[in-house]
Amino acid sequence: MELRQLQYFVKVARKQHVTQAAEELHVAQSAVSRQIHQLEEELGVSLFVQKGRNLQLTPVGKLFLHRAEAVLTELERAVIEVREFLDPEAGEIRIGFPHSLGIYLLPTVVAHFREKHPNVKFRLRQGTYNSLIRDVKNGEIDLAFISPFPDQHEHVSGELLLREEMFAILPQGHVLAEYQSIRLEQLRDESFVMFSEEYSLRNIVLEACAKAGFVPRIGFEGEETDTIRGLVAAGMGVSLLPEMALTEISQLQPAKVRVTDPQVTRSVGLIHRSGEKLPLVAEVFQQFLLEFFCYNQ
């Protein structure tokens, strides 16, 4: 069994398509098919079945995928450790983040860190709350910014970095747009622009509205803060966004109003896999972040 076979198998399993896998691997489709066929012959099982134009893992294929991913992850970590041993300042940090923290927070801390560690590389992965926890648990990333911060979790642990205030955003011509602050209950009859169900900010808004005594009427849904902000600015409804998501100035700019009853906040933390030592360079970055947020609070 060759390493290349495992790499090709995992890529095909993720894409569910040989042609797409070959394009990402920058090899011929026939080469991928041949490696998969040889792997199946060696194992004596079928790893895929054809379903329409796509390939679907067989039950034994799903089992093998789990083990193959673990092998490739451990191999990747071993390569990183060797490189760090030779030159700790030339290592790579694999870090995940939600979109709302990629606008301001992530670029800021990476820029500050690279002032002292200019040769360190970053591999960034954007994801939702559940996908970030899964990627940390599976060892696909070393660290992840996450919101809300999970106080207890079976597979990940970490540190709370900050609590961030969330503001109501309204169209510029809204009757409440010029107010210094409002009660959330004042938006009871408005149409809300909300995040999709897999995004944690949606639950924060729903819980805040429940505290204010109403269920928001959802008119539009989106997956990125820029989309939410743009729809509100265009008059499609109202919403709540964290302060960091409102730092960028754009042509479509909603009004930003403080919410005092109830005050709405979100927790932001940094997580890693429980019970496992971080790569040296990731450990240095983790310590930098704890000091950075302690100093800036």
Tokens of 141: 């990333």
Which of 84 and 199 is assigned the larger pLDDT?
Answer: 199
Distances (CA, A) of 99 to 77, 92, 132, 293: 26, 21, 11, 19
User: Minimal CA–CA distance to 11: which of 86, 68, 67?
Assistant: 68
Distances (CA, A) of 162 to 112, 146, 270, 295: 18, 11, 10, 11
Residue 251, pLDDT above cutoff 90: no
Residue 29, pLDDT above cutoff 90: no
Tokens 């008059």, residue located = 235
Write the pLDDT tens digit of every residue in 200-213: 999 999 999 999 99
| Cα–Cα distance measured from residue 8 to residue 31, given in angstroms and rounded to the nearest whole number | 9
| Cα–Cα distance measured from residue 196 to residue 210, given in angstroms and rounded to the nearest whole number | 18
Residue 126, pLDDT above cutoff 90: yes
Domains annotated for the chain, with CATH where assigned, are 3-78 (1.10.10.10), 87-162+267-296 (3.40.190.10), 165-265 (3.40.190.290)
Residue 297, pLDDT above cutoff 70: no
Residues whose CB falls within 8 Å of the CB of residue 284, separated by 6 or more in sequence, listed in order:
88, 117
| Cα–Cα distance measured from residue 273 to residue 275, given in angstroms and rounded to the nearest whole number | 7
With beta carbons less than 8 A apart as the criterion, state whether 160 and 129 touch: no
Using 50, 70 and 90 to split pLDDT, how confident is the model at 2?
A: confident
Tokens of 84: 């760090």
pLDDT of residue 85: 65
pLDDT of residue 19: 87
pTM of the full structure: 0.71
Write the pLDDT tens digit of every residue in 176-195: 999 999 999 999 999 999 99
Write the pLDDT tens digit of every residue in 256-291: 999 999 999 999 999 999 988 888 889 999 999 999
Residue 39, pLDDT above cutoff 70: yes
User: Minimal CA–CA distance to 254: which of 271, 267, 235, 276?
Assistant: 235
One-character DSSP codes across 101-127: HHTTHHHHHHHHHHHH-TT-EEEEEE-
Residue 296, pLDDT above cutoff 70: no
pLDDT of residue 25: 87
**What percentage of the chain exceeds 70 in pLDDT?**
97
Mean pLDDT computed over 105-119: 92
Tokens of 165: 């205030």
Report the mean per-residue pLDDT for the chain.
Answer: 90
Residue 34, pLDDT above cutoff 70: yes
Write the pLDDT tens digit of every residue in 62-92: 999 988 988 888 888 788 777 766 666 778 8
| Cα–Cα distance measured from residue 274 to residue 2, given in angstroms and rounded to the nearest whole number | 31
**What is the CB neighbour count within 10 angstroms for residue 100?**
25
Tell me if residue 192 falls in helix, strand or coil: strand
